[in-house]
Structure 1
Amino acid sequence: MSCCSITCAKWTTLSLSVILLILGIVTVIKWNSLFHYFEMKELAVASENTEGFKMWKETPIPMYMEVYIFNWTNPDKVEKYETIKPSFVEMGPYTFYEHHIRENVVFNDNDTLTYFNKRTWKFLPDQSVGTLDEKITVLNPIVAIVGNLIKDEHYLVKRALNFFLEEKNENIAVTKTIGDLLFNGYDDPLINIAMKLNMSKIHLPFKKFGWFVDRNGSATYDGVYNMYTGNKDISKLGIITEWNYESQTSYYPDKCGLINGTSGELWYPPHSSEEISIFASDMCSNVKLHRNGSGYVHGIEGNCYEDLPTGVRNVSKCKFGAPAFISFPHFFLADPIYLNKVEGMRPDASKHATKLLIEPNTGLPLKVYAAFQLNLLLEQTEGIDVLSRINTTMMPCFWFVQKAELSDDLARLAKLMLMGGNLGTYTGYGFIGIGALLLLIYLIILKRSWRDSDQEKLIT
């Protein structure tokens, strides 16, 4: 009985040792690649069943938009005296909760899907400085837009517009509520007059004006997107291939008009990429971000990307001919000529730089801080009295920042994903360690059985 027990223990120990050693070696060699394969399959948006699709379909990360509007304090003096600079006081923030839902999603055969992006905003009074009902004086955008559209027309056309401006008591400044300037919109008689002029250059796509009018809750406003699902090639995940069924916009020439980059919310794993690109429909073009160090969110390290170009970007062709230009807030990093033309700008790198923190192995956005300013070029125009005595000036209208940061729940999930590869490897090494220990025990048992066998021979 004793001999049988020793024999059983010996072979059982050897068997377990071999099994654990083989299992450990295979786990160490294959685990990372297998885990990475299944991880990337889950991150892709190739079907409605993947975790990547569920997170992309309705953005789970809380997003906020803070809007700051520039109150124009001296329009009457600027209109009368060319030596007076426009002076502005920043108002806000007016904070909104922003939510994104993808609608009309269609999976295509070429590893892409087509969709609309529905965005909704809800005002958060507790996180705002001021209400949507308070009034503010700003540059009259309709005067600036229509004036720019007909600045090269015959003098008599400009005098006709001037007649309407005087009849309707239109000035270069207008006082409206914050709500009307942003989402509600307001009626302006000049819009109807501009339509009645029946000029080929004037195509105003709105019946009332507001910077975000008709956008809240609209699935079609941002256009239709086509993007890679990442199923066949995870390095293409989230990259926009077409916008409004075109691979290149007509607003910019050559490479400047190519549609590329992600929407900014879904990313391929960038690893050590020095440059990434976001397609912004509001600019009808891409925004390039450059790697600049790293940072941490909830203990997760990510690569930090910043937008580094200087000056302003002309988006007038993208905005129906309006003299619209995008810059950083307060003309941060822009040519000093813009700052010197106005009063009240206070550029600050800590508030006015765009930054994006991405986990390099999964492409998970950890933190987003996207800050941009919209400006209108107010040009001196002969024939239109309210524009004939002003200096040509880049007028700041408002700036906004979109904020998002990984929540605690998603951070825990992300940590599990990042630890998964290491856990498997460590488990493999654990199997090898236990297998080696059992092998050592087997050798000890084997040595003892040999010793007992030799002693029995001596006795006999």
Structure 2
Amino acid sequence: MGCSCCSTRCWLIAGSVTGALVCLLGVILIPVGNLVIENTVKQESVLEEGTTAFETWNSTGTPIYRQFWLFDVQNPDDVVANGSNPQVIQKGPYTYRTRYLHKENITALKNHTISFMLPSGAIFEPSMSVGTEEDNVTSINLAVAGVYSLIDHTVANMLIQLSKATLFQRRTVRELLWGYTDPMLKSTLGVFYPYNNTFDGPYSVFTGKDDITKVAYIDNWRGYPTVSFWKDRYCDMINGTDGSSFPPFLDKKKPLYFFSSDICRSVYGEYEGSEDLKGITVYRYTLPDSTFASPTINPHNKCYCTNYEATNNCTMAGVLDIKTCTGSPVFISLPHFLHGSPDLLEVVDGLRPDDVEHKTFLDVEPTTGFTLRFAKRLQINMGYGPSKEIKILNQIKHNTLLPILWLNETAMLDDETADRLKTELFGRVAMLEVVQISLIVIGAVLCVLCLIGICVQHSNRRKVIA
């Protein structure tokens, strides 16, 4: 009997020790497992052949689309004859698939950077559009708006009258977007001309091989570490990545910086909240209202103000003059002048800014830093105003920035990529967490049960002795 009790007690003691060790192993696996996950993510985030990041970075599998809404002017004759506000309605979307070509001239450099060129192309997608590329739109005459802004008005008037040009013109969607031969300037004009068969770059970005916190950060663009459009050290900085990915392990308290060649400057997104995207938790980052705020509100924007007349001595919010970058008198804004000065909406009828529909956002997976969904929304505008020298502008009463179109460049990971991410990365993380929790629970339960058994046995022995 004594031997049997001793044997049972030994087994209970052994069980409690084993349970404690199993529980301790589960606890130890938490930091060890996290370290393994962190190292794995860091290895797979480096931009070099064979890593998940490189495959994603160089892939064209996820389709990127540009949707265009063109503003159709309803009262062009009334604007010219009486100086009335232009009344516009938006027509769209007209959708094109873009970024469907692989990066070119990918070259690994010595300073842990990799260079490449981004080819540009656009394929019309009829099934995702409201009409065809041959639909007509009445818009501002690009040539007239150009000579109004760029050359002496007396000379401009001569050109306009000799060619019998008008302030507004009727063009097809294809012509307005991609180019047509202008009868006044005898050259090809278009909002995005030239685009097809052109390249953005070259870019040089850090691979993250020596410092993962710099992965995908732009080292230089077109051979320079800064731009020279703004003639200011702050505004000419190239900050962050191109927006397609960021260093892993995001801190939602810190903004994400990225450079956009479309607007010739760097911007940043602030954490807005978490979203569920095909079963994956992502952080949503949006541009703050201060991005295009006037220098009176955001002093950092002072160096972006290069056109004092068009911006009311830099007091106007919501627009960015990119003439110093593109050579064309074009102003960038958010769609429908979202977050813009009231003056912009007072001289154009039919605009309805909406904070949900017209804002730019990035949805970034916080562990890997991959951008899994984004919507880049911008509006293209050109200006005209009163002029004594230009006859067709004699009746115009107000300086007007007229929207030509707004675009939504968007992409979202497909189901196949989502399943692969969930299986290869998040599935392993979840499995490790299950193992950790199981070891802790099983070990703790075994230890507690055995200790209870020891206590019960000890109590029974005392009763027998008594």
Q: How does 1:358-397 map to 2 (within 5 A)?
A: 358-390=364-396, 391-397=398-404
Amino acid at match of 1:31: G
Q: How many angstroms apart in 2 are the aligned matches of 1:114 and 1:191?
A: 38
Residue equivalent to 1:198: none
1:357 aligns with 2:363: yes
User: How many angstroms does 1:380 deviate by?
Assistant: 2.8
Of 36, 39, 51, the residue aligned with 1:37 is 39
Query: 1:161-240 maps to which residues of 2 (within 5 A)?
Result: 161-183=156-178, 185-192=179-186, 207-218=187-198, 220=199, 222-240=200-218
Counterparts in 2 of 1:81 and 1:296: CA distance versus 1, 3 Å:
same
Displacement of 1:400: 0.5
Give the equivalent residue in structure 2 for 1:259. 238
Q: Which residue of 2 aligns with 1:122?
A: 123
Asked if structure 2 preserves the Cα contact closer than 8 Å seen for 1:36 and 1:421, the reply is no
Change (3 A) 1:433 1:287: closer
- 2: distance between equivalents of 1:440 and 1:419? 31
Quote how far apart the aligned CAs of 1:60 are.
2.8
Shift of 1:58: 2.2
Which SS does the other structure have where 2:121 is aligned?
A: strand
1:268 corresponds to which residue?
247
The answer as to whether partners of 1:271 and 1:361 remain within 8 angstroms in 2 is no
Partner Cα separation in structure 2 for residue 120 and residue 94 of structure 1: 15
Equivalent position of 1:318 in the other structure:
325
TM-score of the pair, normalised by structure 2: 0.80
Change (3 A) 1:389 1:25: same
Instruction: Report what 1:424 is aligned to.
Output: 432
Structure 1 residue 428 displacement after superposition: 4.5
- The secondary structure found in structure 2 opposite 1:187 is strand
Q: What is the distance in 1 between the residues matched to 2:219 and 2:386? A: 41
Aligned partner of 2:313 in structure 1 is none
**Contiguous gaps of at least 5 residues in structure 2:** 1-6, 294-317, 452-466
Tell me the distance in 1 between the aligned counterparts of 2:138 and 2:362. Answer: 33
Percent sequence identity is 30
CA RMSD of aligned residues (A): 3.0
Aligned to 2:454: none
Q: For the structure 1 residues 168 and 357, does the alpha-carbon distance in structure 2 shift closer, same or farther, using more than 3 Å as the test?
A: same
Rounded to whole Å, the distance in 2 between the matches of 1:376 and 1:97 is: 26
What is the 5 A alignment of 1:408-419? 408-416=415-423, 417-419=425-427
> Where do residues 45-60 of structure 1 align in structure 2 (5 Å cutoff)?
45=47, 47-60=48-61
Shift of 1:99: 2.7
Matched to 2:273, the amino acid is G
State the SS of the aligned residue for 2:42. helix
Cα 1:17–1:144 shift into 2, 3 Å: same
Match in the other structure for 1:343: 349
**Residue deviations 1:142-196, cap 9 Å, x none?**
1111221114xxxxxx43332222121111111111111112x10013334xxxx
Q: CA deviation at 1:382?
A: 3.5
Does the alignment pair 1:293 with 2:273? yes
Moved more, 22-31 or 230-239: 22-31
* 3-state secondary structure, aligned to 1:161: helix
Tell me how far 1:436 sits from its aligned partner.
8.5
Give 3-state SS (helix, strand or coil) of 2:356's partner.
helix
- The equivalent residue for 1:304 is 284
**Normalised TM-score (structure 1):** 0.81
Q: Residues 87 and 231 of structure 1: is their aligned pair in 2 closer, same or farther, counting only changes over 3 Å? A: same
Counterpart of 1:418, as a letter, is F
Task: Give 1:171's aligned amino acid.
Answer: T
AA of the residue aligned to 2:149:
N
The one-letter amino acid of 1:87's match is Q
Residue 273 of structure 1 deviates from its aligned partner by 3.5
Q: Which amino acid aligns with 2:391?
A: D
Give, in whole Å, the separation in 2 of the partners of 1:351 and 1:382. 40
More moved, 301-310 vs 140-149: 301-310
- Unpaired runs of 5+ residues, structure 1, are 1-5, 152-157, 193-206, 444-460
Matched residue, 1:98 = 98
Question: How has the CA–CA distance of structure 1 residues 44 and 164 changed in structure 2, closer, same or farther, with 3 Å as cutoff?
Answer: same
- 1:160–1:315 Cα change, 3 Å: closer
Give the letter aligned to residue 427 of structure 1.
Answer: V
Partner amino acid for 2:419? R
